[in-house]
Amino acid sequence: MQWHSIRTKVVGALLLCLVVGMAGILVLMRYCFEHNARVLATESVTGAQKLFGILESREISKMTTAGDILLTNAQFRDALAAKDRDRLLAIAQPLMPELKQQGITNWIFHTVEPEQTVLLRVHNPGVSGDHLNRFMTKEVARTHAVVSGSELARAGFALRTIRPVYDAKGAVAGYVEFGEELGSFARTMKEQTGNDYALLLNKKFVDRKNWADTSAALHRRDNWDDNAAYVLNDKTTASDDIMQFQGDLESIPAEGEVLERFQRDDSVLVRGLFPIHDAAGNAVGAIFVVRDITDFYVSVRQTQLVLMAVTVVVLALGAIVVVVLLNRLVFQRLRDIIQVATRVVGGAYHTAIQVSGNDEVSQFEQLFEQFRHVFVDVLSQVPQHHERELQER
């Protein structure tokens, strides 16, 4: 093959188109995958945030209902008014298992202000007497109305409702608090979505000693030193490495934030998180969301391979068709013209060119045939002209 020939240049151009086409498909598929992966991550974060809000509203309603039922029992009211801890425990303890089945893990009775201490933790009777100085306890003492929200306390970060209990004379006899650990939200959310979740707490709002005591009581590893800015409170996966965040929890936008794509072993994961606030409005932590998109990734890869194969076949067939057409319509006819021209130059003046159509090459064949006739006529007159010159001499 002659490298300077038109055929070589055409074949080279077709091969270049093939390579560019394959590269274009790779780039396009890569862009589509990255875009769709980010869309899936965004949907996971947004969906988890909405689901968290739904669960929060549902659990607050559940705990409010439990408080309403409690207020119908005068035994609780009288025992709390009398600060009779043993009597309260005897009445409440049989009910605690049923509340736990409903997801309510904390049940606390408070004394009235200015003392405002824990009279009884039904879920943990051995710990009592500590002074309450939380935002929600201050709010319920100030408003004497039901206060609901999430808040960090000795027992951990939980969704809580606190309400006043009135004695027979209509005075506030004390307060009752119900709470549900937010870690349970992560497990419920996983059951509904299949994604993994973790609760990250900002260390600024967590007491170091309480964290160590709680970890010991729950027989879990004290992971306080795992990260400088936050502690991992609860998670739905055994792996800690997929729940990593290097930013500032307080700077996460309200709508959440999508993090980079992550690959672990044979799994492809997308991650994100959204902030959670306590009852006082502080950004105390975040819910971390991990979604496995391995099936989507494999599907995209398979589609990519199929598209590449189809592209190669189509472009290769197209290239073959183009080369065959060029060879038949142009190159072969040009070779015939060259052969005729060579014969004419060699003395075979009467070798004619057969005009094979009405396209551009045919026009060139007609012009060359006309030129051949003129050339033959000129050459035929040369001997006569030479004889006249000799006679004249």
Tell me: do 82 and 170 sit in the same domain: yes
Last residue of a domain, one of 150, 181, 212: 181
CATH number at residue 105: 3.30.450.20
Residue at 43 is within a domain: no
Residue at 96 is within a domain: yes
The confidence score (pLDDT) of residue 264 equals: 79
Residue at 152 is within a domain: yes
Residue with tokens 């008014």: 81
Cα–Cα separations (whole angstroms), residue 284 to 174, 201, 204? 28, 6, 8
Tell me: do 177 and 97 sit in the same domain: yes
Last residue of a domain, one of 181, 209, 224: 181
DSSP state of 250: G
Element (H, E) at 231: strand 230-235
Number of domains in the chain: 2
> Rounded to whole angstroms, how far apart are CA atoms 91 and 76?
7
Element (H, E) at 343: helix 332-345
The confidence score (pLDDT) of residue 5 equals: 67
Residue at 227 is within a domain: no
> Rounded to whole angstroms, how far apart are CA atoms 233 and 213?
14
Last residue of a domain, one of 149, 181, 213: 181
Residue at 115 is within a domain: yes
Residue at 373 is within a domain: yes
146, 67 in Cβ contact below 8 A? yes
CA angle at residue 199 from 157 to 57, to 5 degrees?
Answer: 65
310: amino acid identity, one letter: V
> Rounded to whole angstroms, how far apart are CA atoms 177 and 151?
12
Residue at 47 is within a domain: no
The confidence score (pLDDT) of residue 47 equals: 93
Tell me: do 172 and 78 sit in the same domain: yes
Tell me: do 303 and 375 sit in the same domain: yes
Of 360, 358, 353, the residue nearest 335 (C-alpha):
353
What are the residues whose beta carbons fall under 8 Å from the beta carbon of 290, sequence distance 6 or more?
195, 196, 197, 198, 237, 242, 243, 269, 270, 271
What are the residues whose beta carbons fall under 8 Å from the beta carbon of 180, sequence distance 6 or more?
59, 63, 103, 104, 105, 106, 158, 159, 160
The confidence score (pLDDT) of residue 347 equals: 73
Digitized pLDDT (tens) for each residue of the chain, 393 residues in all: 556 666 677 777 778 877 887 788 788 878 888 888 888 889 999 999 999 999 999 999 999 999 888 888 889 989 999 999 999 999 999 999 999 988 898 999 999 988 889 999 998 898 888 888 889 999 999 999 999 999 887 656 889 999 999 988 889 999 999 999 888 888 899 999 999 999 999 988 888 888 888 788 778 888 888 888 888 888 888 877 778 888 888 889 999 999 888 887 788 889 999 999 999 988 889 999 999 988 888 887 788 788 778 877 887 888 788 778 877 777 777 787 788 778 777 777 677 777 777 777 777 777 877 877 777 777 667 666 666 666 666
What is the residue range of 334's domain? 6-21+298-392
283: amino acid identity, one letter: A
> Rounded to whole angstroms, how far apart are CA atoms 155 and 139?
19
Tokens of 126: 């051995």
